[in-house]
């Protein structure tokens, strides 16, 4: 019996590799992109006070004790919870609960405002909006998960009206993500800004921005619903 011929193309497909057109070589797999993450403490154009702020120690840089990256799939991850020896924190302001939004029409009953260990992730790839696919000045929406630990228990603000785990939570808002550099032309993306998509009219008549976020306790397990909160933020990533 003669030996069957296996095409080079079929072999590459079987191995899960992509061939670069015209080169005959497999394309390099996508890699994580290290970024500097800035969690702003003040942004007058967003809100009089931001509900997610830094720990006052400056930008968050990727290191052995901190993950600050855009994952290969295009999701932003800022993690000071998982790495051994992590010391960085964020300040979480829970002073804007939405009355009657907890189960049974009760008022929210989350932890006090404070500075906590945390992990933030924006799963932009869930909606086919990977950060590494943005073009100059482009604006898209992404779900945002702001996790923090209080007294050894994990909590999270969930902002995803469609596909959130333990959801959906249709009353919540996506984060708006803008490629802020470059704003025009065809140069590669290098800076992104995360802000709320929800708006309201402030006392002075100006438009301000805040999202509705669901607060969950143990969000990746048997989650406990603590109701909804207004959450304002402004965060910048720089490659």
DSSP state of 52: E
DSSP state of 104: G
Q: Is 178 exposed, middle or buried (0-12, 13-18, 19+ CB in 10 A)?
A: middle
Q: What is the pLDDT of residue 2?
A: 45
Answer yes or no: is 91 within a domain: yes
Q: What is the pLDDT of residue 24?
A: 60
CB of 132 closer than 8 Å to CB of 74 = yes
The per-residue b/e assignment along 76-86, b for 16 or more CB within 10 angstroms, e otherwise, is bbbbbbebeeb
CB of 78 closer than 8 Å to CB of 119 = yes
Q: What is the pLDDT of residue 222?
A: 87
Helix (H) or strand (E) holding 83: none
Mean pLDDT by 10 residues, the chain (239 residues): 39 38 61 97 96 98 98 98 97 98 96 98 96 94 98 97 93 97 85 98 95 95 94 97
Answer yes or no: is 10 within a domain: no
- Looking at the chain, how many residues does it have? 239
DSSP state of 157: E
For the question of whether the overall pTM of this predicted structure is more than 0.85, the answer is yes
**Which residues is 58 bridged to in the sheet?**
none
Task: Name the phi and psi angles at 33, rounded to 5.
Answer: -115, 115
Answer yes or no: is 22 within a domain: no
Q: Which pair of structure tokens corresponds to residue 62?
A: 């990727």
Tell me: the pLDDT tens digits for 26-76?
A: 656 779 999 999 999 999 999 999 999 999 999 999 999 999 999 999 999
Answer yes or no: is 82 within a domain: yes
Domain count, the chain: 1
Answer yes or no: is 100 within a domain: yes
Answer yes or no: is 92 within a domain: yes
Answer yes or no: is 19 within a domain: no
Strands (DSSP E) contained in the chain are 33-34, 36-39, 52-54, 67-70, 76-79, 90-92, 114-116, 118-122, 139-142, 144-150, 153-159, 175-181, 191-196, 199-201, 207-209, 211-217, 224-231, 235-238
Answer yes or no: is 41 within a domain: yes
Contacts of 182 (CB under 8 A, 6+ apart): 136, 137, 189, 190
Distance CA 40, CA 19 (A): 42
* Range of the structural domain that residue 197 is part of: 30-238
């Amino acid at each position: 019996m003669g030996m069957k011929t296996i095409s080079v193309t079929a072999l590459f497909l079987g191995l899960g590799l992509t061939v670069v057109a015209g080169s005959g070589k497999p394309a390099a797999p996508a890699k994580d992109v290290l970024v500097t993450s800035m969690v702003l403490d003040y942004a007058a154009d967003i809100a009089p006070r931001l509900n997610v702020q830094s720990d006052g120690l400056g930008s968050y840089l990727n290191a052995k004790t901190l993950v600050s990256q855009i994952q290969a799939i295009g999701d932003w991850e800022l993690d000071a919870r998982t790495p051994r020896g992590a010391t960085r924190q964020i300040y979480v302001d829970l002073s804007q609960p939405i009355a009657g939004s907890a189960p049974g029409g009760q008022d929210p009953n989350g932890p006090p405002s404070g500075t906590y260990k945390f992990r933030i992730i924006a799963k932009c790839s869930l909606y086919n909006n990977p950060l590494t696919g943005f073009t100059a000045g482009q604006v898209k929406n992404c779900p945002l998960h702001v996790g923090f630990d209080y007294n050894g228990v994990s909590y999270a603000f969930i902002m995803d009206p469609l596909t959130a785990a333990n959801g959906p939570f249709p009353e919540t808002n996506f984060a708006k993500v803008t490629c802020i550099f470059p704003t025009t032309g065809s140069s590669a993306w290098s800076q992104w800004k995360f802000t709320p998509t929800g708006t309201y009219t402030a006392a002075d008549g100006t438009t301000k921005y805040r999202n509705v976020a669901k607060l969950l306790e143990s969000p990746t397990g048997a989650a406990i619903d603590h109701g909804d909160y207004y959450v304002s933020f402004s965060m910048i990533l720089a490659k």
